[in-house]
Chain A
Amino acid sequence: MPGALRESRHSGEVQHSENASIQSIAASGGNGRYAGRSELLLRLRQGPVLFGPGVSRYILPMQHAEIPFFPPAKSRTHEVCGAGAYVFAFALAARLASHTIWVRENWDNTQINPTGFADFVEPSVLTVCNTGKHTETLAVAEEALRSGAVSLVVMSLNQPLGLTEGRRLQLAARDGRSTGLAIIPEGMGSNAAETRWRCIPVFDPKDSTLQKWELIKNKSGTLGVWHVRWETASRRITMVSPARE
Chain B
Amino acid sequence: MFDGRQRRVVSLWFPRLASDRVLRLHPVEGPFVLTLKQQNANRIYCLNAAAAQQGLHQAMPYADARAFCPSLQSRMAQPEQDRRFLHTLRRWATRYCPWVGLEGEDGLVMDVTGSAHLFGGEEAMLADMRMSLMRAGLSAQIGLADTRGAAWALAHYSEGIAPGGDTLPALKSLPVAALRIDDRMSITLRRLGLHTIGDLAQAARAPLTRRFGPGLLLRLDQALGTQPEEISPYADPPHYAVRMTLPEPIGLLSDVMAGAERLLVQLCAKLKTQEVGARNLCITLRRVDQGCQRVELRLARPLRDPQRILELFERGLSEVDAEFGIDQLRLEATWVETLPAQQISHVSGGGKDKLDDLISRLGTRIGLENIQRFLPADSHIPERSFIVAPAAYSDPASGWVSAQPRPICLFPPEPIAGADAHPPTRFRWRRMALTCARTTGPERIAPEWWLEDENWRSGLRDYWRVETREGRRLWLFYTPQNPGWFVQGEFA
Contacts and interface: CB of A to CB of B under 8 A. Distances in A.
Interface of A: 17-19, 83-84, 86-87, 90, 99, 101, 106, 109-120, 122-132, 136, 139-140, 143-144, 147-150, 200-203, 205, 208-209, 230
A123 B398 CA distance: 8
B365 A117 contact: no
Contact of A113 (B355, B357, B406): B406
Nearest to A207: B467
The contact size tier of chain B is: 35 or more
Contacts of B361: 143, 147
B409 interface: yes
Contacts of B456: none
Contacts of A116: 402, 405-410, 489, 491-492
Nearest to A87: B492
Contacts of A230: 492
Contacts, number: 147
Interface of B: 351, 354-355, 357-359, 361-362, 365-366, 370-374, 376, 382, 385-386, 388, 391, 396-398, 400, 402, 405-412, 437-438, 440, 467-473, 489-492
A140 B365 CA distance: 8
Q: Which 8 pairs, one residue from A and one from B, show the smallest C-beta to C-beta distance? A: A124-B396, A149-B354, A116-B408, A114-B374, A116-B406, A118-B400, A201-B471, A149-B358
A203 B470 contact: yes
5 contacts: A84-B492, A109-B411, A111-B411, A130-B372, A143-B362
Residue with the highest number of chain B CB atoms closer than 10 Å, among A120, A129, A139: A129
Interface of B is mostly: mixed
Residue with the highest number of chain B CB atoms closer than 10 Å, among A84, A116, A140: A116
Contacts of B408: 86-87, 90, 112-113, 116-117, 120
Given A83-B471, A116-B406, A144-B362, A110 B411 contact: yes
B77 to A, nearest CB: 42
A149 B365 contact: no
Interface of A is mostly: mixed
Given A127-B359, A143-B361, A110 B409 contact: yes
A91 B471 CA distance: 18
A5 B172 CA distance: 112
B355 A149 contact: yes
A73 B192 CA distance: 98
A120 B376 CA distance: 16
Given A120-B492, A200-B471, 19 more contacts: A86-B409, A87-B492, A113-B386, A115-B402, A116-B405, A116-B409, A116-B410, A117-B408, A117-B492, A118-B402, A120-B408, A124-B374, A124-B396, A129-B362, A147-B354, A149-B355, A149-B358, A150-B355, A203-B467
